[in-house]
Structure 1
Amino acid sequence: MSIEQSIELSRPIVYKVNQAITAKQFIELLAKTTLGTRRPIDQFDTIEAMLKHANLLITAWQGDHLVGVARSVTDFAFCCYLSDLAVDESVQASGIGKTLICMTKQALQPKCSLILLSAPQAVDYYPKIGFTQHNSAWVLTNVDDLK
């Protein structure tokens, strides 16, 4: 690590609400997390569309480096789907993920539910911070699977 990188990583975390990020920045962050293997980081157009159509984006920055993202689709009143929670592995376990979730919840009306699908590696994380498990989530990715 260079001296410049070391100085950059010692800077405090700054959080931003609905600060636009590029697909390249998002891809680079996802590649530094376990989400990288479960997101289409090799499909630039898809990543751009994911960012364009999200309507709540909370980001965490350390200097000029994007180190965390909470990307959501919501109506702000009834439900909010937190579709991506990604924190650079080099700064995980420092409270960034929890702060991103808290800021997402604060952007919503008080009774709005925050909903997410957990990555396998994070299944034990969410109950520790106050989420309750719901055992009847369903996923359909191909319309031809409808019977």
Structure 2
Amino acid sequence: MKNIEFKIGIRPNTSEIIKLYDSSGITRPTNDSNRISKMYKNSNLIITAWLNNELVGIARSLTDFCYACYLSDLAVNSEYQKEGIGKHLINLTKKEIGPQTTLILLSAPLAMEYYPKIGFDTIKNGFIIPRTE
């Protein structure tokens, strides 16, 4: 991770987030900047990765810091993937939430093989009511 600076609690501007999402391959409603802005306004744990003042990675979570944390978004610019940035963002998230807190995420289909490699267990006891919009 060449000169990557990690920051906790910084909310990047919406255009930076959209640019990162579009460059990472993550599917998010990047054509709706108001929705992206609202997603971040209502999140309480944001950890970012920066290279020369450019946002190259982000982990966005919702947590109570004592029982459960939902890691909603993990995105790394495709140019910097496979350099350990995503794993470090997850490790920083784990550090922030502490050992009493379960870290939960829903994986994109293309990342299903990634998460077990970095310490996540597959669960089969989850349920979902999908978005309608």
Normalising by structure 1, report the TM-score: 0.86
Query: In the TM superposition, what is the alpha-carbon distance from 1:11 to its structure 2 partner?
Result: 5.7
Q: Judging changes above 3 Å, is the alpha-carbon distance between structure 1 residues 11 and 130 closer, same or farther for their aligned structure 2 residues? A: closer
Quote how far apart the aligned CAs of 1:109 are: 2.5
- Asked if 2 retains the 8 angstrom alpha-carbon contact of 1:71 and 1:85, the reply is yes
Partner of 1:28: 19
CA shift digits 1:74-115 (9 cap, x unpaired): 001000000000000100000000000000000012120000
Deviation string 1:16-55 (CA, Å, 9 cap, x unpaired) is 00112111110000000121xx211001110000010000
**Equivalent residue in structure 2 for 1:92, among 59, 81, 105:** 81
- 1:7 alignment partner in structure 2: none
Residues of 1 paired with 2:91 and 2:70: CA distance? Answer: 14
Structure 1 stretches of 4+ with a deviation exceeding 2 A read none
Correspondence 1:132 to 2:121: yes
Instruction: Identify unmatched segments of 5+ residues in structure 2.
Output: none
Does residue 63 of structure 1 match 2:52? Answer: yes
AA aligned to 2:24 is T
Q: Find 2:109's aligned residue among 88, 96, 120.
A: 120
Superposition CA RMSD, Å: 1.5
Residues 56-65 or 10-19, more deviating:
10-19
DSSP 3-state at the match of 1:86: strand
Name the CA distance, whole Å, in 2 between partners of 1:55 and 1:34.
24
**What percentage of residue pairs aligned between the two structures are identical?**
43
Which structure's CA Rg is the greater one?
1
Q: Which residue of 2 aligns with 1:5?
A: none
Offset at residue 140 of structure 1 (A)? 1.2
The 1-side partners of 2:5 and 2:106 are apart by: 26
Instruction: State the match for 1:72 in structure 2.
Output: 61
